[in-house]
C-alpha cells in the first residue's frame, strides 16, 4: 500500500504467470509454450527486419500483418485487430466492449484467470457461471432469458485450464441468444484440434474471436495476438488502442508474425506433432492411474485419485520438472501439464511413475 497509488491499485488482483526460473536441465511444462520453436522463416524475417529501418516508427496500423491474417481466414482487413500478445488484445476488449453501467460480464467459474484480473482493473462486475461436474461448459447456461442482457460473455474454447472444447454450433447458439451482447471466444489453443468460430462471423455480428501466436506458432516471446470481429467492433477496439498505445507491435514483431502465419507447412507439422504427443501422454498418464480430461489443447489437465496435486507438483519440481498447479476450489487436485516433445513426455512419465508407484 502506498498513499501515492490510485484508489484502484489496492483493489487489483493481478494475474500470476507460471514461473520462468533459470535452472539447468529444467523441463518446463508449466506455461504451455510450444517445444518446437518458431518457424525458421519467422526468425529469418526478424533478422532481415533488424536494420536501419528500426529508426522509424513501425506501421501503427500493422497493415501487412492484418492482411496476412485476413487472407488466412478469408476476412477483410477491417475485421482484424492486432495487439501486443492476446492478453493486450483482451485488455482492449474488456475496456472497450464490456463496460456497461449496471450490467455484468458472464464467464465460467473455471477459465483463464486473467479475465478476473481485467474485471478488477476495469471495474467490471462479474457473473460466474459454474462449469458442469465433468468440467464441460453447458451452452444452455448462457442462452436462457436474462433479466438484463450481460455486459459481455467470455470463455476460452477450448477452455483453459480444462482443455475441453465445445462445438461450433454451441458457440453459435450462445452468440445468437445474446444479440445485444459482445460474445468473445478466446481461441488461444484452437489450432490443436478444434475448428475456429471465425466462420460464424458472417452470421454473428456480436462475436469476437481472439487468437495468439504464443502457442500454436511458438512465438510467446514475440508478443503477437489478434481479434477477428465485425468492422464495427474492430473500429471500437482501434479507438481504445489509439487512446493507449499507437504502436503496440514493433517492426520486428510484425515481420516475424507475417512470416510465421505464412509458413503453413511448418505450422501444420508442428501442430500435428503436438497433438500426436498429447494422445500418447494421455494414454501413459491414464496407465499411471491419472484421470485425464479430454484435451483439445497443447496441455492436459489430470488428477490422481490417491496423490495430492500440490504434493505431486512439489515432487516433480524436486526432480526439475515444472507443471502448473492452481490453488483454486474445484480444480486444486489437478495438474496442468504442457505437452512437450515425445522425449519430454517420456521423462515426465518416468519420474511420475517413480512417484505414484
Ligand atoms: C496463453 C493464453 C493467452 C495469452 O496469450 P498471449 O498472446 O501470450 O498474451 C490468452 N488466453 C489464453 C486462454 C491463454 O492460454
Average pLDDT of 63-70? 98
Residue 53 — pLDDT band, cuts 50, 70, 90? very high
Average pLDDT of 64-79? 98
* Ligand 1 midpoint to CA 263 (Å): 21
Question: What's the pLDDT score for residue 191?
Answer: 98
**pLDDT one-digit tens code per residue, 290-334:** 999 999 999 999 999 999 999 999 999 999 999 999 999 999 999
* Ligand 1 midpoint to CA 6 (Å): 28
Is residue 1 pLDDT above 90, yes or no? no
Contact 66, 79 (CB under 8 A): no
Query: Residues 6 or more apart from 336 whose CB is under 8 A from it?
Result: 30, 32, 161, 299, 300, 301, 323, 324, 325, 326
Contact 316, 325 (CB under 8 A): no
Residue to mutate, 34, 87, 191, 194, ligand 1, most ligand atoms under 8 Å from C-beta = 87
* Ligand 1 midpoint to CA 231 (Å): 23
CATH of 7-37+265-356, one of 3.90.1150.10, 3.90.700.10, 2.60.40.10, 3.40.50.261: 3.90.1150.10
- Ligand 1 close to Cβ of residue 86 (< 6 A): yes
Residue 52 — pLDDT band, cuts 50, 70, 90? very high
Average pLDDT of 220-228? 98
Question: What's the pLDDT score for residue 18?
Answer: 80
Average pLDDT of 62-72? 98
What percent of the chain is predicted at pLDDT more than 90? 93
Is residue 165 pLDDT above 90, yes or no? yes
Is residue 24 pLDDT above 90, yes or no? no
Q: Which residue has the higher pLDDT, 49 or 145?
A: 49
- Ligand 1 close to Cβ of residue 156 (< 6 A): yes
**pLDDT one-digit tens code per residue, 81-114:** 999 999 999 999 999 999 999 999 999 999 999 9
* Ligand 1 midpoint to CA 101 (Å): 27
Is residue 21 pLDDT above 90, yes or no? no
The ranges assigned to domains in the chain are 7-37+265-356, 40-262
Question: What's the pLDDT score for residue 23?
Answer: 83
Is residue 243 pLDDT above 90, yes or no? yes
Residue 13 — pLDDT band, cuts 50, 70, 90? confident
**pLDDT one-digit tens code per residue, 249-266:** 999 999 999 999 999 999
**Rounded Cα–Cα distance for residues 213 and 220 (Å):** 7
Q: Helix 251-262 vs helix 63-73: angle between axes, to the nearest 10 degrees? A: 20
**Rounded Cα–Cα distance for residues 120 and 113 (Å):** 12
Residue 352 — pLDDT band, cuts 50, 70, 90? very high
* Ligand 1 midpoint to CA 346 (Å): 26
**Rounded Cα–Cα distance for residues 213 and 225 (Å):** 6
Contact 295, 331 (CB under 8 A): no
* Domain spanning 40-262, CATH class: alpha beta
Amino acid at each position: 500500500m502506498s498513499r501515492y497509488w490510485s484508489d484502484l491499485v489496492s483493489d487489483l488482483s493481478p494475474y500470476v504467470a507460471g514461473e520462468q526460473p533459470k535452472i539447468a536441465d529444467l523441463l518446463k511444462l508449466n506455461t504451455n509454450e510450444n517445444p518446437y520453436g518458431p518457424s525458421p522463416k519467422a526468425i529469418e524475417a526478424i533478422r532481415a527486419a533488424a536494420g536501419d529501418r528500426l529508426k522509424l516508427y513501425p506501421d501503427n496500423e500493422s497493415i501487412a500483418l492484418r492482411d496476412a491474417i485476413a487472407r488466412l481466414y478469408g476476412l477483410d482487413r477491417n475485421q482484424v485487430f492486432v495487439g501486443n500478445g492476446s492478453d493486450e488484445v483482451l485488455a482492449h476488449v474488456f475496456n472497450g466492449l464490456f463496460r456497461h453501467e449496471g450490467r455484468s460480464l458472464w464467464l465460467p467459474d473455471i477459465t483463464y484467470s486473467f479475465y478476473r484480473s481485467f474485471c478488477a482493473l476495469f471495474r467490471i462486475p462479474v457473473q460466474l457461471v459454474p462449469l458442469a461436474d465433468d468440467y464441460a461448459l453447458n451452452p444452455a447456461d448462457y442462452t436462457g432469458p436474462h433479466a438484463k442482457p450481460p455486459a459481455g460473455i467470455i470463455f476460452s474454447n477450448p477452455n483453459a485450464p480444462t482443455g475441453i472444447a465445445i462445438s461450433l454450433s454451441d458457440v453459435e447458439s450462445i452468440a445468437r441468444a445474446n444479440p445485444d451482447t459482445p460474445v468473445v471466444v478466446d481461441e488461444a489453443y484452437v489450432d490443436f484440434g478444434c475448428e475456429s468460430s471465425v466462420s460464424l462471423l458472417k452470421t454473428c455480428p456480436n462475436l469476437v474471436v481472439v487468437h495468439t501466436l504464443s502457442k500454436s506458432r511458438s512465438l510467446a516471446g514475440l508478443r503477437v495476438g489478434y481479434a477477428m470481429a465485425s468492422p464495427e467492433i474492430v473500429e471500437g477496439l482501434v479507438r481504445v488502442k489509439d487512446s493507449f498505445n499507437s504502436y503496440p507491435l514493433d517492426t520486428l514483431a510484425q515481420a516475424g508474425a507475417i512470416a510465421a502465419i505464412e509458413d503453413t507447412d511448418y505450422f501444420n507439422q508442428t501442430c500435428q506433432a503436438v497433438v500426436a504427443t498429447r494422445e500418447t501422454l494421455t494414454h501413459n498418464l491414464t496407465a499411471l492411474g491419472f484421470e485425464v480430461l479430454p484435451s483439445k489443447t497443447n496441455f492436459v489437465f489430470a488428477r490422481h485419485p490417491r496423490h495430492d496435486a500440490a504434493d505431486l507438483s512439489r515432487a516433480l519440481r524436486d526432480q526439475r520438472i515444472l507443471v502448473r498447479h492452481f490453488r483454486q476450489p474445484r480444480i486444486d487436485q489437478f495438474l496442468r501439464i504442457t505437452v512437450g516433445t515425445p522425449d519430454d513426455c517420456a521423462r515426465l512419465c518416468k519420474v511420475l511413475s517413480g512417484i505414484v508407484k
